[in-house]
A and B are shown apart, each in its own frame.
Chain A
Amino acid sequence: MKRSRRSYVFAALFLLAASVASEGVLAGAASPSGTASAGPAPEASPTKGLEDDPPGEEKTPAPALDEWKGAAKIKIHRADKRCNAYRVREWVKIHCSFPAAGAAMITGNPEGVAVWVDRTSMEIEKVAFTPRGVDVIFPVRRGDGRLFELYEWIADYMYPSGHAVSVTISESWVEGEPAPVLTM
């Protein structure tokens, strides 16, 4: 099903809210050990990826905002430490935080795909140094082959002078392979 530009914007608004909400839930999580400490214990990295529980064949609708709030983190191959990946059914959301300039899907099936970047305005001197949220959401289905690029500002002295690829996300589910492959 093709989506119009308007629906991408609409989805982006939901994503913004979902992203802020999910990050907020995680940030506020209590330490797993329950013991008193100077601060919250660092979160353990996820140990399971899509290959451990491959999605089924059913095509489900994109998750609603509430569904992303409680989404499980999943492991990505060669993950960038600035990014986390979450899963709801066959849907994956990758959230990264760094001084982002933009993000784009480069190639692949755009069905269900959404891309979002935090557009909060800030002083120009801070743009190239202040982390912003970037989200990419897509369904994972057999036959997929997709590539995304997330761009980071390059600074010339204090000001943004260009952008370069900071994170590349590849998603594929090749015929004959038992599970999809998600890698950065």
Chain B
Amino acid sequence: MAGLVFFGCGKSGDPKPSGGALSSAPAVSAAPTSSPAAAKRKAPVREGSTISRVPADDALYVADEDHGVVRRVALPLDPNAPSILEIPMPGPPAQVLALDGRVLVTVRDPGLLLIMRVDAEKGLVETARVALPADAWGVAVTPDEKMALVTSAWTHQVSAIEIESGKKRWSLDVAREPRAVVVRPDGTSAYVTHLTGSAITRIDDIGGSPSIKSVSLPPDPARTPSGKTLHASLAYSAVLSDDGKRLFVPRHAIGAMGKTTWHEAWFGTSTVDVLVTATDKPILGKRVPGLPKARTAELEERPGMAGDLSVSAAEFTPFIQPRAVAYRKTAKTLLVAGEGNDLLAELNAQSVSPALQRIKIYKIGSQYDKYVPVAASGGAPSGIALSADEKTAYVFCRATYDIAVVALSDPEAPAPEKKAKEEPPPTARLAADPHENNIAMGRRLFYNATDNITSGGLGCAGCHPEGRDDGHVWHEADIEGHVVFLGEPENTPASLTKSVKGFPRQTPMLAGRVNAKGPYGWQAQNADLVERLKEGFRLHRWAPDIGEGTENQVRARAGYLMAFLRKGLATPPREARDLTEVEQKGKQIFLSERTQCAKCHVPESGYTDREKYAFQRKKPPQGYDDEPKNEFKTPSLTFVAGTPPYFHDGSAATLEQLIEQNNDWMGKTNHLSKEEQAALVAFLKTL
């Protein structure tokens, strides 16, 4: 049960020092000494992250789910010789939240909340282990620090736990992929964000009989096509202003419009959406056409240059794939971690649209590989903890397993006349990648949004977060002979005279579904995974001829990604248990010769025969083109419970609806009674 691990003994790929300075391996930390009894200190923040600073200000705790450990990193932090204590966890830890003398840790598989106390010898010792729905992820505490709320992402639940007793009070079913949880200052209600979809969830009476309601928060109204409400994704994090009157949610607005002088948004924009907590309404209303504008005569004479000035011309991705956020009270700013472009963006929190009023960008990534430009240091920032004086941000970087120590500037200070070249911040390496080099490179590529060959500005993790899916039905559009994906038709490049709709293509889940040789693609158009990845590189950009590399460059990237997707990507947790009676009945129906499900959804090969079949002719969803080639490959049913909506066009919102509306088209289901349909769905949800 020793919680002490000597870091660096006998491991391959020992952590390398960063920032260009050589150093010895990180020292084993001196065990934290017990402090005399003192008045209880308030936690610096009430929301969890992959990194959290203790109130005593002498340590950081880091949740490293890839290594299955929590690490205690002593403060002050010497990047060249960090003092690290490694504490093994019973499963991959998602978040930590440091309270006074205690640390809360969420564990994904099995789903747990660990309540741990700081121990002089072992670093952390469990005082309670609370069983929760699987994939426990986000954590927050009430202002009195007596209750914790935990989201369980894959199983779409939120739970409340009494911290003192370790007793679970309740678990509630919520919308798909709940992630961040933020408790309102009055301690009676909380907001929950979701990885997919634009609404957030509010839970009231968390200390009594909780009730949930959906709160509308349309993403990026300033850049939404008139009259539309867009989908959103990647709402991993959220934070309140210091007075609790505004809730900030960084995420991705799929299909939002963006056009700078140089390029256009094909996928949408990065946004921080603001909810007014007094009214639960977004701070910005829907965008309407015909707003006041004025041009100089010279701009009027150059219509191609100007556009119609109705959409923001600001940079549409100041950060890519927002993974974490912190509120800087002293400056009234937000710090958002951009996983895809290895940076920290400081934004004006007083703005109605903070992403459009950025104050400073802190580039964190460095030591980019010469051949495949991914960072070897500061890659994929995933969590932020501020120092007590808020002059330093400690940023945990998940692709490179290091902590960047970022000196934050004074936002009130005038900008220097000449912008000095800024060096990347020093980083303290915590561990080497747990896998071999090919998988490690694949991991970095998976998060990376800046390699021009792989994608046009959005990493794989942008649409396939954690190897799952973003819940969006994309538009596969032919742009002058090249096929690309668009978030919405309004993302059609302005150079085209007519907006393109495209065919509907829902983002597929990847984790656990890409082990077969092939074929791949919704229409089985790619013989194997490497070919599918190569086609993906071409599809995911706004101008197809930009960034194409040589065959060797492309194949190298595809090879790395394939290694990571198959061996490095964690699959969602699956409860190891016997099927219930209803699920057994559903299994029999599934396997029966009369229903014929298993004829195409072959259990032995990931519940798919990988063959393509003619799909029933029906009208495409509104806003999409009709398909001339109406054949689709049998999709895998592995993990199907967590991937609504269904079909390539997302036309079935739930499995229940899919079965109900099937009408004997896929196999035979018309003969099934309501109870039998329900049993079949129950079985499908166990796959």
Contact = CB atoms under 8 A, between A and B. Distances in A.
A101 B295 contact: yes
Interface string B279-305: 100011101101111111111001001
A117 B300 CA distance: 12
Tell me if A's interface is mostly helix, strand, loop or mixed. Answer: strand
Contacts of A132: 296
Nearest to B283: A145
Interface string B249-288: 0000000000011100000000000001111000111011
Contacts of A12: 294
B523 interface: no
B285 A109 contact: yes
B352 A170 contact: yes
B357 A117 contact: no
Nearest to A124: B298
A117 B293 CA distance: 9
Contacts of A103: 293-294
B312 A175 contact: no
B348 A145 contact: no
A132 B309 CA distance: 18
A163 B261 contact: yes
Given A151-B313, A163-B299, A145 B414 contact: no
Contacts of B353: 107, 147, 170
Tell me if B's interface is mostly helix, strand, loop or mixed. Answer: loop
B389 to A, nearest CB: 21
Contacts of A168: 314, 351, 356-357
Contacts of B305: 161-163
A8 B292 contact: yes
Contacts of A146: 352
Interface stretch (A23-31, A52-60, A176-184): A176-184
B261 A117 contact: no
A154 B313 CA distance: 13
Interface residues of A, number: 51
A64 interface: no
B291 A127 contact: no
Interface size class of B (residues with CB under 8 A): 35 or more
B245 A100 contact: no
Nearest to B415: A81
A175 B356 CA distance: 22
A162 B306 CA distance: 7
B359 A147 contact: no
A108 B284 contact: yes
Contact of A174 (B246, B285, B356, B414): B246
B505 to A, nearest CB: 30
Contacts of B276: 174-176
Given A121-B297, A127-B298, A163-B261, A183 B348 contact: yes
A77 B332 CA distance: 10
A18 interface: no
Interface string A136-179: 00000000011101010010000011111100101110111100
Given A149-B313, A164-B261, A170-B353, A102 B411 contact: no
Given A151-B313, A174-B246, 12 more contacts: A12-B294, A77-B350, A81-B414, A100-B296, A105-B291, A106-B222, A106-B356, A113-B292, A127-B296, A147-B352, A164-B260, A165-B312
15 contacts: A78-B359, A102-B295, A105-B291, A106-B287, A106-B311, A106-B312, A116-B294, A145-B284, A161-B305, A163-B261, A165-B312, A170-B351, A174-B278, A177-B243, A184-B357
